[in-house]
Amino acid sequence: MNRELTDWTGKFGLPRFDLIHDEDFAPAMEATLAEAEARIEAIAANPEAPSFANTVAALETAEQALNNVCAVFYTLTGVASNPEREALSRDFAPLLAAHGSKVGMDKRLYDRVAKVWEGADALPPEDRRITELALRDFRRAGAGLTGAERERMAEIRQRLAVLYTRFGQNVLADERDFVMTVGDDRLAGLPDWLIAAMRAAAKERGQAGQVVTLNRSLIVPFLEYSDDRELREIAWRAWVARGSGAGAGGAETDNIALVAEILALRHECAQLLGYADFAAYKLEPEMAGTAERVEELLTAVWTAAKKRADTDGAALSDMMQQDGVNATLAPWDWRYYAGRKRRAEHDLDEGEVKPYLTLDAMLGAVFDVAGRLFGLTFEPFEARLWSPDTRAWRIMRDGREMAIFLGDYFARPSKRSGAWCGALRHQHKIGAGQRAIVTNVCNFTPPATPGGQAYLSWDDAHTLFHEFGHALHHILSDVHWPSISGTSVARDFVELPSQLYEHWLELPEVLDRHARHAETGAALPADLRDRIIAAGNADQGFSTLEYLESALVDLEFHRGAPPSDPMARQAEILAGLDAPAAIPMRHATPHFAHAFSGDGYSSGYYSYLWSEVMDADAFEAFREAGDIFDAETARRLEAAILSRGGSAPADALWTEFRGRMPGVEPLLKGRGLN
């Protein structure tokens, strides 16, 4: 076995990715799985009376070697997939699911933890918390099941792991395989920066001219700027066809039958555990608690957003008619006319903005804000990582290492779409303790020429701040146990730090300091800055509805009996909402990775909006202090939320910071929907 997979020897404790090869993973997975099972068996079979030390604390470190192997492997499958890694993912999924089921349903472990819980009142708060969570997790995993029900639960979890892997790989294949050539005679309306990005994408694929791919940083601006309605429709249809059987991979990448099976298995799993449906099971440990509370929030925002979207849609339809387009406003028209409307109303041209939003400039802003709020400094260093584009920093405070931070920012055909934050290593204080190794992964358009500047859109800049907000949750984590470290919190609480951090991007003093012209170094003109900020709420009806459609479909899919035909049920839900035909779901079911490439956000896509209610109110705390960099407010935010991980229930952490629960009004105000 390659020991580099378990005992990392790179700089500052990083794995040496240059010494790790695909053929190393299967032996390492086999060996570390066996080691983890032996350690856990020793805990379960321990003849000594159950104690916190010999049971709950022992479980915290029993799988460390296995976790290290998985951290490296699944980081690589996200950022640098290949056929070998995809095949390994399919092999590993049922093995890891079987291991998880075996541990989670071990009645001996469950009984030992339950015995520790009987005396938990005498434990320190964090020890009591992880005992409580361990007991809950065993119960929710099915440790109380017996006989045929127990066997069926294990079968379900293994099958779901296989389906999740296939779902994600099918979406990636459709994204990777679609390329639309755009001839020189069909570039009307496209700005120079977008044409350059399309040419760079063509060159990367060994083609001449310009192409559109399904990279969001490429296809979204194409849909916004292209005057060619026919090409917009082709591009849009390919984008929404991912995973539907009508995508680039055809029937081979059809996810619809997988979704039906996933929903049926989830429902069966919930009922085996005594819940009415999967939504009831999944929402039990979240802040929201019930599907009814989620629906109440989503419906309240839907009403305000629908009113705005209907008004905007009528205006865009008028613009189409003025162009001589005698057709109904379609999904491939909305971004195009909304973009024209926004540029006209705010005198805003993205080509004018982009030179001020280089990746380096915006990283400078991200790091400066973290420094001013939390005293962090960033020291870049060279490391042997998975891509030469990936960058590394050592994050320090008062001479102490706080974390290692890795940023992988550019789109590649082998990279999963979207943006995310991960952790190769979590902070904890066991023994000598360790600090986190955190990753931010994005899919920005790379520089047109090697070594050149990478230009971000305003949305890209928001994404950069968003993902670093997640990173701060890991960087500032200060708990004893790894299972409650960093982002190990309720799903509808985890987006609070990320969405809160986005607010600082829009502050004039941040933009004035960091948004500098790539060629001249001149500061972003005040009038242009104000126009960018003023345009921030343009088209909020569209962006809010497309999100809410996905959130409501996700919720309804998991309430009651599962649909045998997910696409028919999706259409029924949207019809019941009276959703505008020109505003489709942000993530249609066949490529809804949040919900179906794992169960992290299943019944939980609403959590972005739930967290936004809190982030709007949290930022208001800085305004109330009279200084958006107020040191005392930042200290309280770190002490109550960012450093605490899952060491207390989310509502308790929030109330400790703010003193009360928030209302929906600041959210509606922030989106301009009030």
Catalytically annotated residues: 467
The residue type of 472 is L
- Count of CB atoms within 10 A of residue 411's CB? 22
The C-alpha atoms of residue 317 and residue 427 are separated, in whole angstroms, by 53
- Distant-in-sequence, close-in-space partners of 339: CB < 8 Å, separation ≥ 6: 224, 225
The C-alpha atoms of residue 496 and residue 618 are separated, in whole angstroms, by 9
What percent of the chain is helix, strand and coil (3-state, nearest 5)? 60, 5, 30
The residue type of 61 is T
**Measured at the alpha carbon of residue 114, what is the angle toward residues 108 and 116, in degrees to the nearest 5?**
105
Please name which of 544, 549, 550 lies closest in space to residue 595, comparing C-alpha atoms: 550
- Distant-in-sequence, close-in-space partners of 468: CB < 8 Å, separation ≥ 6: 366, 370, 421, 440, 498, 501
The C-alpha atoms of residue 306 and residue 315 are separated, in whole angstroms, by 14
The C-alpha atoms of residue 128 and residue 116 are separated, in whole angstroms, by 9
Task: Determine if residue 521 is left, alpha or beta; phi over 0 gives left, psi from -120 to 50 gives alpha, anything else beta.
Answer: left
DSSP string, 31-53: HHHHHHHHHHHHHHT--SPP-II
3-state secondary structure 348-371: CCHHHHHHHCEHHHHHHHHHHHHH
DSSP run (H or E) holding 217:
helix 216-225
- For residue 572 the two structure tokens come to 């029924």
The C-alpha atoms of residue 414 and residue 540 are separated, in whole angstroms, by 32
Give Cα 255 distance to the centre of its chain.
21
* Residue found under tokens 């105000």: 669
Contact 34, 49 (CB under 8 A): no
DSSP string, 588-627: -GGG-HHHHSSSSSTTTTTHHHHHHHHHHHHHHHHHHTT-
Contact 130, 483 (CB under 8 A): yes
CA distances from 670 to 162, 179, 503, 537, 538 (A): 41, 37, 10, 8, 12
* Residue found under tokens 């920093």: 393
Please name which of 237, 197, 196 lies closest in space to residue 218, comparing C-alpha atoms: 197
